[in-house]
Amino acid sequence: MAKSRRCLWCVLSVIVSAAIAIVVVFFVKKKMDDEKSSEGSVDDKFADALEVAMQFFDVQKSGKLVDDIIPWRGDSGLKDGSEAKLDLSKGMYDAGDNLKFGFPMAFTATVLSWAILEYGHHMEHVNQLEFAKGSLRWITDFLINAHPSENVLYIQVGDPKLDHKCWEKPEKMTGKRPLKHVSTSIPGSDVAAETAAAMASASLVFRKADSAYSSTLLKHAKQLFTFANKHKGCYTESLPEIAEYYNSTGYGDELIWGASWLYHATGDKSYLEYVTGDNAETYAEVDDGPTWFSWDNKLAGAQVLLSRLSMLGDKGASGISGLQDYKKAAQDLMCALLPDSPSATSSRTKSGLIWISEWDSLQHPVGSAFLAALYSDYMRTSNSDKLSCGDESFDHSDIRDFAKSQAEYVLGDNPKEISYLVGYGDKYPKFVHHRGASIPAGAKTGCSDGFKWLASKKPNPNVAMGAMVGGPFKNESFIDSRNNSMQTEPTTYNSALLVGLLSSLVANSDTVKSLRGK
């Protein structure tokens, strides 16, 4: 009996040891899975959408193309800039037409740079980082050439009135391509400061891989900011004929935005003193409530970007008073965006989409969601557990959930059950207001006879991959028609915002780090 009991005890000991080992393995694996989920796991839906969205930059490229990623596109605009003896062949067309507008194009570059700097590791994880950098450089190459001297910046290629009289592919353009510029006698602080922001942010993107190119970008950024600040004026007041297309409502937000990016690119405190001194009262309007981030108004973006400094403890920003005002303004914006906040904006559809404008309605919710994703990551990194909105409090996951909801709406979680991102999902717009996409690749059409393709009842013969169309009306209706440019025309700058948003959602972010250390 004693021997039997000893054997039984041996068996029990083995069973208990095995059980303990299983439990230990379970919890170790769970911890590893949790860490992977919190930092590295990929959301396939957003990864697939990002791959699609990135392609629209190739759809929009001007110049001599180096690949055939978009098979129905070819070389175009090869002589752009020739009247000023400049090479302005690169850059990107702004929307569904064949024009290059420097103001929204520079905004595209700034947002794309910001997305790469914050979420480049996400892009790299799903093999999209090099595509993003290539698209950014396609724009910055143009911007460098568009700035031939310190106080001259070329800001438009093509005549809108002439261009809109034609419906033709960019490869077949035969009309004149006149230029517009700003200078000391034709001031344009808004477009110059936005271009400074684009070049400063891009200089950070290329700092490690191409230090010479990065230095060139930073030199242009400093010159353009000085020009913008010294010779003040709105570019659409100097050139009122452009106001019909990209009217600027002020230049103060661009000056704050440009200085904010120059601080990140240089570490020079004078740029922080610029945004927190008298200029804060003149241009920042931090007490006037939330504004909506767009190609025309960068103030909300500057508020979030400057919040980064105080939340993450940037050493160079220590001792600079006034930064907390930007953080407070960014917090107010987050409270306005969160649907359960006491101060939630009523400017949204019944399904929860932020809705500000009939024209290009998706720009504002996507831009707001991108800022929300950034702020959420700043909160998580700084261990700022709670955001107070009146008597309610929210954590970083609530803000991220809002950002995610706006992205999911764009991708098909909406009453129409349609993806507003062309090429993503089974149901997306087929009559996109886009000249190149609407005309068959082999068609031989001139300027005016191409309008038959605008009027055609057939879907576009070419898919404008990655185009995010304008979007729904406030009642969430959407009419898929080429003649409905209000809802079906895509824009390059909206693609940059969407790429930023999708990149943030591909995976949960690692700890946010200094942009200068990227």
Q: Which helix (H) or strand (E) holds 394?
A: strand 392-394
Torsion of CA 20, 24, 25, 31, to 10 degrees: 160
- Distance (Å, whole) CA 367 – CA 356: 12
Q: Which region holds residue 81: left if phi is over 0, alpha if psi is between -120 and 50, else beta?
A: left
Residue found under tokens 């911007």: 143
- Distance (Å, whole) CA 304 – CA 20: 49
- Distance (Å, whole) CA 361 – CA 469: 9
- The sign of the torsion formed by the CA atoms of 402, 404, 407, 409 equals negative
Task: Give the residues across from 468 on adjacent strands.
Answer: 421
Which tokens go with 157?
């290629």
Active-site residue among 122, 181, 231, 433?
433
φ, ψ at 348 (rounded to 5°): -155, 160
Q: Which letter, b or e, does each residue of 358-397 get, where b requires 16 or more Cβ atoms within 10 Å of its Cβ?
A: eebbbbbbbbbbbbbbbbbbbbbbbeeeebebeebebebe
Task: Give the residues across from 182 on adjacent strands.
Answer: 153
Residue found under tokens 């909206």: 494
Which tokens go with 349?
């559809």
- Distance (Å, whole) CA 271 – CA 360: 33
Which of 416, 428, 412 lies closest to 463 in space, CA to CA? Answer: 428
- Quote the Cα angle for 384-386-390, to 5°: 135
| Three state DSSP letters for 42-99 | CCHHHHHHHHHHCCHHHHHECECCCCCCCCCCCCECCCCCHHHCCCCCCCECCCCCCC
Q: Are 279 and 232 in contact (CB under 8 A)?
A: no
Amino acid (1-letter code) at residue 318:
S
Query: Which residues are within 8 A (CB) of 166 and not within 5 positions of it... i.e. 6 or more apart?
Result: 98, 173, 175, 447, 448, 450
Active site residue 433: yes
- Distance (Å, whole) CA 100 – CA 106: 11
Q: Are 399 and 379 in contact (CB under 8 A)?
A: yes
Indicate which residues carry an active-site annotation: 433
